[in-house]
Structure 1
């Protein structure tokens, strides 16, 4: 049976124009692009796209959950990376915080040490200030006392005690010094010169004493301490009767000098005695002497003597007024 051929339906002129347009596409750009990118396409692995869009009829509920799960996993992976970074940074900050805390602890300990040192120093300064104030108060009290009569009485009492300790002493002045001199022999010679023999058994101690001033070129004085006050008084009485002793009388060669025997006075009484003699020459007093450690002055023969015991008495010598101790001086 012969095959029958169906002839195509006739179309209108408008449809023919449309068919001609669709049957003759311009493929030259596609060919060129395929040829130019054939090398690049060889390096690209393509896979069939199974992605289904939400408007598609094949998008089912399980697919929605799978897509959501994939999105969550992707988000979780990103969050894990961020979290790990945050953990690392927090760990580093924690280490820095611990280091800072350790440093702060050391600083606190140092500050506590300085605070304790400061408190100790402050307490010590306060204690020293308190002691300083107490010392100032004591000094002021002593100054106030020294300006009053109490210190004067104490000084007088001490000087009296010192003078009492020298009661049995004789001071030999202006006796030339010689090397290897025998002072016992010299005192025995002086006793023979004034006709009052003295032996070594009568002497407790004998020695030369240094000068009060280093520039003094006079011979050092000799201090003789006797066993009894009677021996000392008898020797001084014999010396006053002889009035003068020369070095040749006791066997000392060289320039002829006078030797003086005096009672052994304290430094205060010696200064008072020198001042009394100076004023006596200025005011016309004829006699100045010492008896039992008391300084006595007399204006002239026939007048009464009075004692000099302080600078006040020296002032009365100048004014011509007698002191209240005139009776004591007469008894001496």
Structure 2
């Protein structure tokens, strides 16, 4: 038969040894004792604090100080180099400014000299032009007379005398010192006749103008001179210097643009007139035409 085991009976003394359940407000004496023991043990196991080594700190400070001093020296050297560069740069700027002032002064002087030279050159050109015009003072220019084979100076002289007869000027009043053709870039055949006096030249020009005015429908032409070929007008004018001839060309162009009725030359001078009775304007240079445009 199996044995029946029954728990031993609890005595009063044993029941008194068992502590009842404790509340949260009560402390367990064994836990408190255990905590205190652990704290004491932890304190006992902590490494004691070592005293700071002042000599090592001093060495570190010296190293830091030396590093700072090295950096400052390098910085000072760099600043000194920059200052030196700035000084050189300032000297270069001053030198450049001085040279610029010198060049500016020279340019002003050159400009003044150029104006003086320009005035002087213009005066020389005018003087040369006057001399050339004086040499041409007794000469006339005949245009559109065709050249024939074997032509001689006498043939040209006879042609001039024929023109004098047509324009009602006695040929015996004209003395020809020289007559010749000139080679020009244009296709217009041109003959230069040098007469004995200025009066003879003026007489031919005056009679020519009078003839054309009285024969406006049949002005002097090659047919009247019995020249074979197509009929072409014959022009006679002063033999102008190159400068005056160019000025006369510009004046005619200006007269056409601005509706001037008259543009002519007399004794090597160029004149303009707007209409009958209006004051004449003498053109001495290109600037005179420019001034007339500005006045308009």
> With structure 1 as the length reference, what TM-score do the two structures score?
0.50
1:303 positional shift: 0.5
**2:206 alignment partner, SS class:** helix
1:184 positional shift: 1.0
8 A Cα contact 2:143 2:188, kept in partner: no
Partner of 1:156: 126
279, 285, 289: which one pairs with 1:304? 279
**Cα distance 1:154–1:249, how it changes in 2: closer, same or farther (>3 A)?**
same
1:277 aligns with 2:252: yes
Write the deviation string for residues 179-218 of structure 1: whole angstroms up to 9, x where unpaired.
123101100111111111225970100000110x3xx222
1:302 positional shift: 1.7
**2:270 alignment partner, SS class:** strand
8 A Cα contact 1:279 1:318, kept in partner: no
1:169 aligns with 2:131: no
1:237 positional shift: 0.5
| Structure number with bigger Rg | 1
Tell me the matched-pair count. Answer: 177
**Cα distance 1:209–1:256, how it changes in 2: closer, same or farther (>3 A)?**
same
8 A Cα contact 1:236 1:261, kept in partner: yes
Q: Report matched runs for 1:60-71 at 5 Å.
A: none
185, 190, 196: which one pairs with 1:227? 196
Uncovered stretches (5+) of structure 1, i.e. residues with no partner? 1-139, 322-332
Partner of 1:290: 265
* Structure ranking higher on relative contact order (CA contacts 8 Å, 6+ apart): 2
1:320 positional shift: 3.8
Partner of 1:203: 176
1:152 positional shift: 1.0
1:251 aligns with 2:226: yes
1:292 positional shift: 1.0
Write the deviation string for residues 73-112 of structure 1: whole angstroms up to 9, x where unpaired.
xxxxxxxxxxxxxxxxxxxxxxxxxxxxxxxxxxxxxxxx
Uncovered stretches (5+) of structure 2, i.e. residues with no partner? 1-109, 213-218
1:146 positional shift: 7.0
Write the deviation string for residues 209-234 of structure 1: whole angstroms up to 9, x where unpaired.
110x3xx2222x10000111111111
> With structure 2 as the length reference, what TM-score do the two structures score?
0.56
The structure 1 segments of at least 4 consecutive aligned residues displaced by more than 4 Å after TM superposition are none
